[in-house]
Structure 1
Amino acid sequence: MKNIKIAIGIALVVLGFASCKDEKQEKAQKTVENYVIYVDSVKNVAAADLKDNWKSVEAEYDRRSQEAQAALADIKDNAAATEKVNASKIKYEEFRDEMTAQFAPPAPSPKQQLRDALFGAGKIGDDMSFSWVNAQNIHSVYQQFVHTVENNKDRYSREDWDEIKLMYEALDSRKNTVEKEGLSAEDNRKIAGLKVKFAPMYTVNRMGAKSEENKDAKK
């Protein structure tokens, strides 16, 4: 009788262990399925709706991805589950790359790229405002402008040179204002030297760019 009780007790423990094990596997399978469903559901959301919540989408994906990877260890024969997880991972990464490209701001126009190079990114926009140029920084602004032109003079087109001349004249106009706001004699002298350097460089290279365009047109 005693042996029967012991056998029954062992059987109950084994059954309980098996039940726990099955429950753990079932939970792991469900975690994997929820991960797959999440990836598929995100792909069905309109890009406009995703854009405002993209950080939350990414955070939720990372959480579910980590949980799914951990769940694989609790699945005895996990080959099929692993394949599902890997397929969804690839699917999401391709989708993320597509959305990242869509959400990225449009590339600046060639004109804006030139302005950014001459003055710094975002300093001069369509409003052509030079209000940020003052007595303390105007010399460095001229310096960057002239040195950038010097370093790239062989690559500029005639249209680029026309834009450079427009920007140069606008900067000169700002200098007239800045001179009344405490521009030092030393900075004024240094700027004069940069202007002397720029003038012949502009004239010669713009003529060369125009000549090259005329040659290309004849061809």
Structure 2
Amino acid sequence: MRNIKIAAAVTLLVLGLTSCKDEKQEKAQKTIDSYVAYVDSVKNVSADNLKENWKNVEAEYDRKSQEAQTALADLKDNSAATEKINASKIKYEEFKNEMTTVFAPPAPSPKQQLRDALFGAGKIGDDMNFSWVNAKNIHSVYQQFVHTVENNKDKYSREDWDEVKLMYEALDSRKNTVEKEGLTAEDNRKIAGLKIKFAPMYTVNRMGAKSEENKEAKK
């Protein structure tokens, strides 16, 4: 009788352990399936919504990815699950790269690229706002402007020179205001020297660019 009780107890223990093991494997499989499903679901979200919530998407992906990797250890035979996880990883990375391209800001127009070169990236936009130019920095602004033009004068088209002229006149207009706001006599003299350097450089090269354009038009 005692042996029967012991055997029954052992049987129950084995069944209990087997049941726990099965539950653990089932939970692990669900965790992996949840990860795979998440990757598939993200691809169905609109780009606008993804862009707005991309940090949350990435955080959730990282969490589910880590959970899926941990769950592999609870599977007796995890070869198929490993393949599923790896396939979803590749799928997500490809999608992430695609979204990075979509989310990237558009390349600046040629006109904006020219303005960025003359004044610094983002300094002058379509609003033509020169309020950031003041008595302390206006000399360096003129320096960058004139030196940039000098370094690129052989590359500029007629349209580029027209844009350069427009920007130069706008900077000159700002100088008229800055002169009343503490511009030193020394900086004023240095700016005058830069203006003397710019004037003939603009005239000669603008004419040259127009001449080249006319030649091309006649071909």
Do Structure 1 and Structure 2 share a fold, with TM-score over 0.5?
yes
TM-score (norm 2): 0.90
Identity %: 85
- Structure 1 residue ranges without an equivalent (≥5): none
> 1:116 — aligned with what?
116
**Aligned partner of residue 53 in structure 1, secondary structure:** helix
Compute the displacement of 1:148 (Å).
1.5
Residue 37 (structure 1) aligned with residue 55 (structure 2) = no
Residue range with higher mean Cα deviation, 105-114 or 89-98: 89-98
CA RMSD after TM alignment: 1.9
> 2:172 — aligned with what?
172
Compute the displacement of 1:170 (Å).
0.8
Compute the displacement of 1:114 (Å).
0.9
> 1:78 — aligned with what?
78
Q: 2:137 and 2:123 mapped to 1: Cα distance?
A: 13
Compute the displacement of 1:207 (Å).
2.4
Aligned pairs for 1:60-79 within 5 A: 60-79=60-79
Q: Which letter maps to 2:94? A: E
Q: 2:83 and 2:217 mapped to 1: Cα distance?
A: 59
Compute the displacement of 1:83 (Å).
1.5
Q: 1:208 and 1:96 mapped to 2: Cα distance?
A: 48
Aligned pairs for 1:13-24 within 5 A: 13-24=13-24
**Aligned partner of residue 134 in structure 2, secondary structure:** coil
> 2:55 — aligned with what?
55
Q: 1:22 and 1:151 mapped to 2: Cα distance?
A: 74
> 1:210 — aligned with what?
210
> 1:143 — aligned with what?
143
Q: 2:13 and 2:153 mapped to 1: Cα distance?
A: 85
Q: What is the aligned residue count?
A: 219
**Aligned partner of residue 80 in structure 2, secondary structure:** helix
TM-score (norm 1): 0.90
Q: 1:188 and 1:22 mapped to 2: Cα distance?
A: 85
Q: 2:211 and 2:182 mapped to 1: Cα distance?
A: 43
Compute the displacement of 1:200 (Å).
2.3
Q: 2:4 and 2:119 mapped to 1: Cα distance?
A: 91
Compute the displacement of 1:177 (Å).
1.2
List per-residue Cα deviations over 1:13-66 (Å, max 9, x = no partner): 433333322222111111110011111112122222222222111111111112
Compute the displacement of 1:2 (Å).
5.4
Q: 1:151 and 1:9 mapped to 2: Cα distance?
A: 91
Aligned pairs for 1:94-109 within 5 A: 94-109=94-109
